[in-house]
Amino acid sequence: MFTAMRAERMEGLHFFSDQATGLEAIVAIHNTRLGPALGGCRYLAYNSVDDAMADAMRLARGMSYKAALAGLDQGGGKAVILRQPHIADRAALFEAFGRCIESLRGGYITAMDSGTSSADMDCIAQQTAHVTSTTHAGDPSPHTALGVLAGIRSAVRARLGQESLDGVRVTLQGLGNVGYALAQLLQAEGAELLVADLDQGRVRLAEEELGAQPLAPDAVYEAPCDVFAPCGLGGVINQRSITRLRCAVVAGAANNQLVEPALGEQLRMREILYAPDYVINAGGLLHVALTHRGVAAGDIAGRIRNIGSRLDSILEQSLAQGRSPAEVADRQAEQLLYDEDAL
């Protein structure tokens, strides 16, 4: 365990169990140099505790990098609750988790993520103030989608030399809350949509409402398009899928899209522009972090719009230095997180 923590430069790993509710949870805190750790709470079924722990640590690291490049005074953390086959009282389970969060004394602020909802955050909020994306704070998904849209605009301009998204062919992998919101934004700007999701109901809805063309889930990689936008779970760019891509740009909302860092350079060598996921999907984090601090909605919207400019800078540096955008973004984040002279 400690070897894995050192490999990810993890500050803390907390395990929680509550017999009365069946709660089994892990909170990973990656880095608190810039401020308290903030990150979502996932409620998913895992094959093992080791898998859940690895997921929490990998995602917590990504949150640190995301917060750093978004200019937030926050660190990175992540919580995973291991979903059991039968839970008698979901509300009680999340209230129990709220007590776990409270025991960390503000070192970690939780939020909505895969498998959780604003209603779950409301239950947590009954036990601790260290929670956001409650019903009152609002769903961060539309804000994530707005940031990704800004990133896609920047990437299309850099790679295709096109200011408008009108007629740009975008393959969307995943039509969850963020993916569908992004599809709506892209359709409004005139993009041509190809969509895939395991939930065929969501695919049919996109066909009917947005005029999208449906794809089989495994056909997304080989579909000719301008932009491939992963918007589901992470790890979709691997040694096998990268050879199948027929796109000019990879830019989407999913976290941890690259299975390994070297794939960023492989994309560059194939002349596929990769927009680092944690740079362009930071809109949701900006919303929850700044809402939690009482920042005005207009100011938050301005910060989200700046995501495109941030990606512009990374892409310019990538071109000038002959390095992948993924490597440039990582080095920038690591300077802020680990280099004393950078602060």
Is residue 23 included in any domain, yes or no? yes
Q: What is the pLDDT of residue 341?
A: 54
**What domain range includes position 250?**
141-282+309-334
Same domain, 148 and 209: yes
Same domain, 187 and 325: yes
Same domain, 110 and 153: no
Please state the domain count of the chain. 2
* Predicted confidence pLDDT, tens digits, the chain (343 residues): 889 899 889 999 999 999 999 999 999 999 999 999 999 999 999 999 999 999 999 999 999 999 999 999 999 999 999 999 888 999 999 999 999 999 999 999 999 988 999 999 999 999 999 999 999 988 899 999 999 999 999 999 999 999 999 999 999 999 999 999 999 999 999 999 999 999 999 999 999 999 999 999 999 999 999 999 999 988 999 999 999 999 999 999 999 999 999 999 999 999 999 999 999 999 999 999 999 999 999 999 999 999 999 999 999 999 999 999 999 999 999 999 997 454 4
Is residue 341 included in any domain, yes or no? no
Same domain, 148 and 260: yes
Q: What is the pLDDT of residue 340?
A: 47
pTM, 2 dp = 0.91
Q: The domain spanning residue 320 has which CATH number?
A: 3.40.50.720
Is residue 170 included in any domain, yes or no? yes
Same domain, 105 and 161: no
Q: The domain spanning residue 97 has which CATH number?
A: 3.40.50.10860
Q: How far apart are CA 38 and CA 28, in angstroms?
A: 10
The catalytic residue positions are 78
Same domain, 181 and 325: yes
Same domain, 194 and 330: yes
Same domain, 216 and 180: yes
Is residue 51 included in any domain, yes or no? yes
Is residue 297 included in any domain, yes or no? no
Beta strands in the chain, from DSSP E residues, in sequence order: 12-18, 23-31, 37-44, 75-82, 108-112, 169-173, 192-196, 213-214, 227-230, 249-250, 273-274
Same domain, 198 and 120: no
| Token couple for 255 | 């976290």
Is residue 133 included in any domain, yes or no? no
Query: Which stretches within 19-109 are classed as H helix?
Result: 49-69, 90-103
Same domain, 181 and 102: no
